[in-house]
Amino acid sequence: MRNRRAALATLAGVVSLALTLSACGQDSKGSSEGSSNGSTVGIAMPTQASERWLTDGKSVVDDLKQKGYATKLVYGKDDPKTQVSQIEDLIKQGVDALIIAAIDNKSLNGVLKQAAAAKIPVISYDRLILGTENVDYYVSFDNEQVGRLQAHYIIEELGLEDGKGPFNIELFAGSPDDNNTKYFFDGAMHLLQPYLDSKKLVVRSDQTGLNDVTTLRWDGPTAEKRMKGILAESYGNRTVDAVLSPYDGISLGVLSALKADGYGSGSKPLPVITGQDAELPSVKSIIAGQQSQTVYKDVRLLAGVAAEMVDAIFKDKTPRVNSRRAYNNGAKYVPAFLLQPTSVDKKNLDYVLVAGGYYTADELK
């Protein structure tokens, strides 16, 4: 193990300050937490614009701090070049390990060669980094199961297993540069395709291939614009009965387009709309009877697994994994630890999210 660097201690609480500034719309290059044992972990998260990634960043920092490690947390502003530059800076500053949630899963090969040359272990966090041998471990959720939960919810709510239909559905997927996008979509389509083949589900837009339905950077306004176009071009007097949405931010964009077209009032009820990440605005939307469902991934657990991996590496132990051959990044099979997601709707959100301590009852008012 490389020599530990003890000169990186900084003011405690900077992480919380950075997150507060981001919520106020101010830029923050990153933040640090000090420790006494001399080991420092660089954490590169994709964006401060998503509540989910703010929670991840804080959780990873907190877990590592509890184990006695210093941290340097940066957010890449959803710009791959910015993230590459930030990781280069972390390497130059002498971090002892890197935890990276990639913005573009193919843009990091060069900088990870620098990490390998400096003997810095790399953990790919939630989004698998592709095309490089210089990734040591991967921590995530069972991403195909996320898609299956979304599809199962649509099937159940529409009564497709009981022979009901046909229904109109539109399909959305995540960012084309995120490896998880394919897993989410494949998991969902595994269950939905038989109903598309039997015409019990009909995609009026004819946009059914993954390349046709991706949403760059998981961006809500981009999804809203696409949904408005679909409604204008493909529906007329018809109505949408379901929307496969892979992420809460996309779901809210889709909802905005639907409501602008008169859904949710009069004779046009809102369709079944799925989501992912249990972000607070979407949970409130579910309570209000608008978004239908979200897939809850307790990122506190994910952060804990990443911190445990780092701790094992620093102690010259083999990190715990539960999948060795499921994730091939194009250069190697990356040993992984996968957690299980949970489907959440209006019926069980109090039990899962409030009783589970993810949100308080006051936060959901």
Write the DSSP symbol of residue 216.
Answer: G
Report the distance separating Cα 327 and Cα 323, nearest Å. Answer: 8
For residue 166, say if its preceding peptide bond is cis, omega within 30 degrees of 0: yes
Instruction: Classify the C-alpha dihedral 314-316-320-321 as positive or negative.
Output: positive
What are 340-349's pLDDT values in tens digits? Answer: 999 999 999 9
Residue 156 pLDDT? 98
* Residue 266's pLDDT band (cuts 50, 70, 90): confident
What are 137-151's pLDDT values in tens digits? Answer: 999 999 999 999 999
Q: Does position 71 have pLDDT exceeding 60, yes or no?
A: yes
Instruction: Please compute the mean of the pLDDT values over residues 158-162 and round it to a whole number.
Output: 98
Instruction: Please compute the mean of the pLDDT values over residues 36-57 and round it to a whole number.
Output: 91
Report the distance separating Cα 65 and Cα 34, nearest Å. Answer: 8
Q: Does position 135 have pLDDT exceeding 80, yes or no?
A: yes
Report phi then psi at 168, rounded to 5: -95, 135
Burial class (CB in 10 A: 0-12, 13-18, 19+), 328: exposed
Fold matches, 14-135+298-340 and 143-296: yes
Residue 28 pLDDT? 39
Residue 82 pLDDT? 98
Strand partners, 222: none
* Residue 284's pLDDT band (cuts 50, 70, 90): very high
Written as one string, the DSSP assignment of 114-175 is HHHHTT--EEEESS---S-S---EEEEE-HHHHHHHHHHHHHHHHTGGGT---EEEEE----
CA distances from 117 to 203, 222, 229, 313, 329 (A): 50, 39, 49, 17, 20
Q: Which of 339, 338, 340, 336 is nearest to 137 (CA)?
A: 336
143-296 adopts what CATH topology?
Answer: Rossmann fold (3.40.50)
* 26 Rama sector, left if φ>0, alpha if ψ -120 to 50, beta otherwise: beta
Residue 34 pLDDT? 53
Report the distance separating Cα 158 and Cα 148, nearest Å. Answer: 15
Q: Does position 39 have pLDDT exceeding 60, yes or no?
A: yes
Question: Contact 144/183 with Cβ under 8 angstroms?
Answer: yes
Write the DSSP symbol of residue 352.
Answer: I
The residue with greater pLDDT, 19 or 107, is 107
* Residue 326's pLDDT band (cuts 50, 70, 90): confident
Residue 94 pLDDT? 97
Taking the domain 14-135+298-340, which CATH number applies? 3.40.50.2300
Residue 38 pLDDT? 79
What type of residue is 152?
Answer: H
Q: Does position 267 have pLDDT exceeding 60, yes or no?
A: yes
Domain residue spans of the chain: 14-135+298-340, 143-296
CA angle 119, 337, 29 (to 5 degrees): 55
β-sheet with 167-171: strand ranges across: 201-202, 167-171, 242-244, 272-273
> Average per-residue pLDDT in the chain?
91
Which residue in this structure is represented by tokens 């502003």?
A: 77
Report phi then psi at 294, rounded to 5: -145, 160
Instruction: Please compute the mean of the pLDDT values over residues 109-115 and round it to a whole number.
Output: 97
What are 188-203's pLDDT values in tens digits? Answer: 999 999 999 999 999 9
The residue with greater pLDDT, 239 or 325, is 239
Q: Does position 365 have pLDDT exceeding 50, yes or no?
A: yes
